[in-house]
Amino acid sequence: MLLKNAGLSFDVQPAKFDEVAARKTLKGTGATPGDVAEVLARGKAEEVSATTSNRIVIGGDQILALGDEIFEKPADMDGARQTLLKLKGKSHTLNCGVCLARNGEVFWSHVDTAHMTMHDFSPEWLGQHLADVGPDVCQSVGAYQLEGRGVQLFSEIKGSYFTILGLPLLPLLGELRRLGVLA
């Protein structure tokens, strides 16, 4: 949606990159959440670009971290509830990596971080919120969708709106302009 709204023409080709294996490899290495986001974005971009001759491929990934704990998308509504209860009243980070690759090699990468603080809401309020928004929240690593009702969960946000939605769009567009891909 972000790329389309920005006026880019592109094809979508999902990567077959094994994120679970990459995360396991990075665990215990001292890699920061930003490092993990970049490694996953790189892996996706390299894998897809190796199969697309001389085309620029955009790879991206987003990591949510609360201190040293890295979160994954909740599997179900109970998982969404547990994620939001862990995050309530606290600040967490969204680390978003984006890479450009061609012929299997990354030639540009960028990581951006947003800092987000949730209200200290009641379990009852959360129950009603989840009933209102439904299972679509499981598509978001933080079990919220800031572009919708998820914004009600927050008391403070510092960082790029685009990074929060999953792509550091302004640095990416700047690099595409520098490359002559955009006017």
- 121-133 pLDDT tens trace: 999 999 999 999 9
Residue 54 falls in which region: left (phi positive, over 0), alpha (psi -120 to 50) or beta: left
Statement: the pTM of the whole predicted model exceeds 0.85:
yes
H helix runs in the chain, sequence order: 2-5, 19-26, 33-49, 77-87, 123-133, 161-165, 169-178
pLDDT in the model for residue 176: 96
Q: Which pLDDT value is given to residue 151?
A: 95
Task: Write down the pLDDT at residue 175.
Answer: 97
Report how far residue 135's alpha carbon sits from residue 119's, in angstroms, rounded to the nearest whole number.
21
Q: What residue ranges do the domains of the chain occupy?
A: 2-7+15-178
- Residue 128 pLDDT: 96
Active site residues: 61
| C-alpha span between 68 and 98 (Å, rounded) | 22
Better-predicted residue by pLDDT, 68 or 32: 32
Residue 42 to residues 33, 61, 105, 126, 181, Cα–Cα distance (Å): 14, 9, 9, 36, 20
How do residues 136-176 score in pLDDT, each as one tens digit?
Answer: 999 999 999 999 999 999 999 999 999 999 999 999 999 99
Cβ neighbours of residue 29 closer than 8 Å, sequence gap 6 or more? none
State the pLDDT at residue 85: 97
| CATH number corresponding to 2-7+15-178 | 3.90.950.10
Q: What is the mean predicted confidence (pLDDT) over 98-123?
A: 97
